[in-house]
Structure 1
Amino acid sequence: MGKLDRRVVVITGAARGQGEQEARLFAAEGARVVLGDVLDDQGEALAKELGESTARYVHLDVSREDDWSAAVTTAKRAFGKIDGLVNNAGILRFNELVSTPLEEFQQVVQVNQVGAFLGMKTVVPELEAAGGGTVVNTASYTALTGMALLTSYAATKAAIVGMTRVAAMELAGRGIRVNAVCPGAVDTPMTNPAQLDPDVDPAEVAQAVDEVYRKLVPMGRIGRPEEVAKLALFLTSDDSSYITGQPFVIDGGWLAGVSVL
């Protein structure tokens, strides 16, 4: 018996990184997964690997309401219902506050904040129709503390924590739990774009990353996407049946403070 047997979960940003690991883990735990992303080749390949009885891929620009409606239609046609949502899709832009163009700020808001809003707005009625369910929103540890050069990103992630709390209050009576994961640095292409550069030696990249986070993080390393996936699984499964409205930090102790050693 898996922890998500017979459950149908929509996961955004599922073609790679945290979303891919969530999709793989959820499928291994018995869920049928609907993978949403704009990286069509990678998303379709992952769905094919997981198998038609387990997964479907749908092109999903999370900032577009029509795409969300299409994703819901795909999920219901393939699997009959929706029991869970993981709002994982997001983008990251580094810039000083006064140097951030309005267009860049709005782009991050559209994907990170509006995407999570539209996901909940569109999928929650389906969760209610299924008799209840779960939402896991991907925020960030920067939602709870500051970090230079991340005005737009931190603003959207703080908004996600706020929406999570409000949604949890509104939906508890309908059998729907809403929580947020707040990762610190995680070794994915979003935080480490060098992974996508074919001219860069992966071993050199890994060594450089290790050196940075050995100094910054109490646990001495960057996080792994599969570790975040396990937290998302916990919040989606019945193991967290009495938890809602909470932001869960998963950062190797980074938020705890600064080491002088």
Structure 2
Amino acid sequence: MDKKIVLITGAGKGIGKATVKKFLKEGFIVIATDKVWENKIENNFVYCYEMDVTDRNSIKYVVNKIEKEIGSIDVLVNAAGIFETLSVGQTSVVQWENIFSVNSTGVFNVTQIITDKMQKRKKGSVVIVSSNASKFPRKYMAAYAASKAAASMYIKCLALELSEYNIRCNIVSPGSTNTDMQRKLWNGAEIVPKAVLEGDLKNYRLGIPLRKIAEPNEIADAIYFLASDAAGHITMEELTVDGGATMGV
């Protein structure tokens, strides 16, 4: 086939699912992976696999099967992630390790295994979904923010190592986005709480200058741009998509 192939983790919902739709629209064959599938995506150019980013054997099985039966992976998008709001004092070692196992070690596992194959071909593009919380302290988000910060710096180091192989690695860091993960913070509200849009001084949090949260497709557009040939001279970069919430830092 003359179509390029993208593998997307966390593809079952939210930003990952929107990214599947974006790459499909752009003519890619999409390998959509998630730990558990509730509703598989029905499309002739989408292949859905169960894959656990914390299990290296699971990743190797899926990647080898794809490369043998479908074709070489041109683009990797790591959108898999988990989120919990916990004070540092409330955070157990198990919870800390669980968050890091997906958000940081999971990124390491998937990128290491797939870029090993990309190096042999001397081409490829990697984009991970981090968070604007990786750059600004947040109350009750220490484990999540730290895990995303670790993943972001890891990807920049990986990009430096892989530059000689013509492999680009970049980061998209969303702010508040209309996903299940975000709505968990709304305490049952059906609309975006005022504190999200206007800020919360009690918790040292600024509002969103654009006065709206992102839609998943807006994050997917940013992911596609960095993955595409239009960003062919961009690597080691972080594109923050948060409506100005972190003031351009």
TM-score (norm 1): 0.87
Tell me how far apart the structure 1 counterparts of residues 181 and 12 of structure 2 sit (CA, whole Å): 12
Amino acid at match of 2:138: M
Shift of 1:88: 0.6
Which residue matches 1:228?
Answer: 219
State the number of aligned residues: 239
Report sequence identity in percent: 29
Which residue matches 2:203?
Answer: none
Cα shift readout 1:205-251 (whole Å, capped 9, x = no counterpart)? 1x2x1534331211001111100000000011011011100111110
Tell me how far apart the structure 2 counterparts of residues 78 and 210 of structure 1 sit (CA, whole Å): 47
Q: Name structure 1 gaps, 5 residues minimum.
A: none
Cα shift readout 1:119-147 (whole Å, capped 9, x = no counterpart)? 11110022223430100011110111111
Which residue matches 1:238?
Answer: 229
The correspondence for 1:214, drawn from 164, 177, 197, is 197
Give the 5 Å matches for 1:36-75: 36-42=33-39, 45-46=40-41, 49-51=42-44, 54-75=45-66
My pick for the range that moved more, 89-98 or 127-136, is 127-136
Tell me how far apart the structure 2 counterparts of residues 211 and 130 of structure 1 sit (CA, whole Å): 50
The correspondence for 1:11, drawn from 8, 12, 26, is 8
Give the 5 Å matches for 1:1-261: 6-42=3-39, 45-46=40-41, 49-51=42-44, 54-193=45-184, 205=190, 207=191, 209=192, 211-215=194-198, 216-256=207-247
CA change 1:28–1:78 in 2 (3 A) is farther
Tell me how far apart the structure 2 counterparts of residues 10 and 188 of structure 1 sit (CA, whole Å): 21
Amino acid at match of 1:11: I
Are the aligned partners of 1:179 and 1:235 in contact in 2 as well (CA < 8 Å)?
yes
Query: Once superposed, what is the RMSD of the aligned Cα atoms?
Result: 1.8
Write 1 or 2 for the structure with the bigger share of helix. 1
TM-score (norm 2): 0.91
Are the aligned partners of 1:12 and 1:35 in contact in 2 as well (CA < 8 Å)?
yes
